Amino acid sequence: MSGYFCADQARHSVENCLGTAPTPSTYVCIECPSPWAPRHFESKATPDNLRHWMAEQASLRQPAKFLFIASHPAQHQHGARILFFEKPSGLARCYQRRETRVSDPTQIVDQLQRYFSGKKVGIDTTHSGDRDILICTHGAYDRCCGRYGYPLYRQLLKWAPQQKLGHVRLWQASHIGGHRFAPTLVDFPEGRYYGGISLVQAQQLLLQAGEIQDLLPAYRGWGLFPRPLQVIEAELFRQNGWDWLKTRVGSTLVLEETESAQVALSCQLPSGDCLTYEAELEMESVKVYGSCGDTQPSWTKKYRLLHLSQKLSNNGACLLRSPEKAPKIRTGKALNSAQAS
What are the domain boundaries of the chain?
A: 6-220, 226-339
Q: Which residues contact 21 (CB under 8 A, 6 or more apart)?
A: 178, 191, 192, 193, 220, 221, 222, 223, 227, 230
- pLDDT tens across 197-246, in order? 999 999 999 999 999 999 999 999 999 999 999 999 999 999 999 999 99
pLDDT band at 76 (very low <50, low <70, confident <90, very high): low
Angle among Cα 161, 165, 168 to the nearest 5 degrees reads 110
What's the predicted TM-score (pTM) here? 0.88
Q: Which residues contact 220 (CB under 8 A, 6 or more apart)?
A: 17, 18, 19, 20, 21, 178, 181, 184, 193, 194, 195, 230
CA distance 16 to 325: 32
Kindly report the backbone phi and psi dihedral angles of residue 211, in degrees, each rounded to the nearest multiple of 5, phi listed first: -80, 125
Q: Is 94 within 8 Å of 190 (Cβ atoms)? A: yes
Q: Do domains 6-220 and 226-339 have the same CATH topology?
A: no
pLDDT at 266 over 60: yes
In CATH, what class is 226-339?
alpha beta
Read off the pLDDT of each residue in 49-53 and give the average, rounded to a whole number: 95
- pLDDT tens across 240-261, in order? 999 999 999 987 766 767 778 8
Pairing of strands 298-313, 26-31: unpaired
pLDDT at 2 over 60: no
pLDDT band at 99 (very low <50, low <70, confident <90, very high): very high
Sign (positive or negative) of CA dihedral 167, 173, 177, 178: positive
CA distance 128 to 82: 16
Determine how many CB atoms are found less than 10 A away from the CB of residue 267: 22
Q: What is the CATH number of domain 6-220?
A: 3.40.30.10
